[in-house]
Amino acid sequence: RVKIEASRFNGREPDQHRWNIETGPLDSSSVRISWKPTRTLALQGSWAHLTDPEQLEPGVDQKRWSASALWADDVAVGWHAAATVAWGRKSSEGHNDDGLAAEASLRHAGWTFFGRGEMVENRELLGLVSSPEYRVGKISVGAVRDFPIAKRFSLGAGGLVAVNFVPHPLDALYGSADPIGTMCFIRLKLN
């Protein structure tokens, strides 16, 4: 029901040569505590210190925190619901940038209906070293229908609609204040 994990690792992002193994000192650390107080609820919190993680910002260390709650249960016969709420923070050079996300799904008779809302504070949207902080967000809703094709496999077809929320100074870069996106997809799922 309770788990504590700690790790020591090289926290640098990989270079453009993705086919080799990155080496370097084990100079970054993380700790996570997980707790499952009930059969349907799981909680976690974590902290990490990353030494010099970004190639474009040499010598700049980061601290990261996260916390989340996950819930899943049958809400009626043949109906299964799940929800997640998550928060994360990246701290670097005296700045704290937060991110929040909440998502939920409802599954019944081969259909899954889902939704997600997220908001993030970001200083990297313009690619400038001294970029101001911007808060961007997104809300998406969708559905997927799964069809069994073998004993352990199903094929799904679905789609979603998303509304993005962009600060007014970035309207020209994104085409409008609240761009709308859509997506159709097919997935192969191992049951």
At 166 the pLDDT is 86
CB 49 within 8 A of CB 28: yes
pLDDT at 1 over 80: yes
> What does pTM read for this prediction?
0.84
pLDDT value for 128: 56
The predicted pLDDT at position 127 comes to 61
Strands 62-76 and 41-50: antiparallel
How sure is the predictor about 21, in pLDDT bands with cuts at 50, 70 and 90?
Answer: confident
| Residue 115 confidence (pLDDT) | 98
Got the DSSP string for 3-42? EEEEEEE--PPP-S-TTS-------EEEEEEEEEEETTEE
**DSSP states along 75-88:** EETTEEEEEEEEEE
Question: Mean of the pLDDT values across residues 9-38?
Answer: 89
pLDDT digits (tens, 9 = 90+) for 80-132: 999 999 999 999 888 899 999 999 999 999 999 999 999 999 877 666 556 67
pLDDT one-digit tens code per residue, 37-86: 999 999 999 999 999 998 878 889 999 999 999 999 999 999 999 999 99
Q: 53: closest CA among 24, 33, 32?
A: 24
Confidence of residue 23 (pLDDT cuts 50, 70, 90): confident
CB 17 within 8 A of CB 1: no
